[in-house]
Amino acid sequence: MQQKTILIILSLFFILVGCNQEDEPSVIEGFSLGAFSFLNTMTIFVEDSHVGNDMEKLYSLDRGTRMDTTDYTVEAYNLMLENDTKIIIEDTGQELEFSALFDEEISIHDSMPLRLLLWSDIIPISVTVKEDFTKQVSTDRPGYITYSRELLPIYTAEEIKIPRLSQEHFHLHFTARHYEYNVIIVYSDEVMTEEEMWRLYDEYWMEIDEVSNMTYNTTLDLIERDFLDLYNVHSLDANIEYPYFFLFDQEGMLLETTDWDEVISIVEVNQD
């Protein structure tokens, strides 16, 4: 009788363990590489045979380096985003659905975390997928992961969590990769409208073209002040003048200033 009781208890134990395992969600942890080809598809990078999971090195290798991909392997996945895919900012608890991107009643400010996910990279994410997840390392790749993201395993994202980001993530995101310089223009919609800022942006472009002799070695990015809050960049106090400029080269941030002439002087001096 005692033996039968033990067998019954063991059987129930294994049944319960099996049920718990089946109920566990399938989660992929890695780094977003941003949207790919179509707006509802993005890529999550876990690691590869060249840099492991060091994102700074990943984009250092990306700078025009010719690589032999004969033995190159990478663990990365393409994610399909559906209208009800949830995006959660863990730092604030803010929660959005992917459909918010197309909802005219939701402001650009409120949908900014979603735009960050799709158009930024190097940010860590944790993704719960609808399918049963099986780790897969891809081989025989047509190119390095930052250039070639096709033919990767595909999963459907149910929920994407973005943890607390830092100023380091901000620097990694905007460090110049394919150009010599990257200029970040920060404006506040409390000071000027987006339309006014875009007109000023065009003027900045004309000046950059002039001092760089049309070499196109510099890029300009325009972001609203609240975007910095997502990266917890708090160096801009309430009394600061806008627009505000961050200047990055391929090593990191060179300058932050309210003086556009300072930016031009650095770009211009190094045009030999």
Q: What is the pLDDT of residues 121-173, one digit of tens each?
A: 788 999 999 999 999 999 998 888 888 888 899 999 999 999 888 888 888 88
Closest by CA position to 81, among listed 44, 40, 109, 49: 40
Domain contains 181? yes
Please indicate, yes or no, whether residues 30 and 139 belong to a single structural domain of this protein. yes
Domain contains 16? no
Task: Tell me the C-alpha distance between 121 and 138, whole Å.
Answer: 20
Is 245 or 97 the better-scoring residue by pLDDT?
Answer: 245
Domain contains 6? no
Please indicate, yes or no, whether residues 37 and 152 belong to a single structural domain of this protein. yes
Please indicate, yes or no, whether residues 159 and 38 belong to a single structural domain of this protein. yes
Please indicate, yes or no, whether residues 60 and 126 belong to a single structural domain of this protein. yes
Domain contains 17? no
Domain contains 211? yes
Cα radius of gyration (the chain): 23
- Percent of the chain scored above 90 by pLDDT? 31
Q: Which of 164, 184, 208 is the last residue of a domain?
A: 164
pTM of the model: 0.78
Domain span at residue 65? Answer: 26-164
Closest by CA position to 144, among listed 8, 248, 244, 33: 33
Please indicate, yes or no, whether residues 226 and 102 belong to a single structural domain of this protein. no
Domain total in the chain: 2
Please indicate, yes or no, whether residues 69 and 86 belong to a single structural domain of this protein. yes
Which residues, in sequence order, are CB contacts of 177 under 8 Å at separation 6+? 59, 62, 63, 250
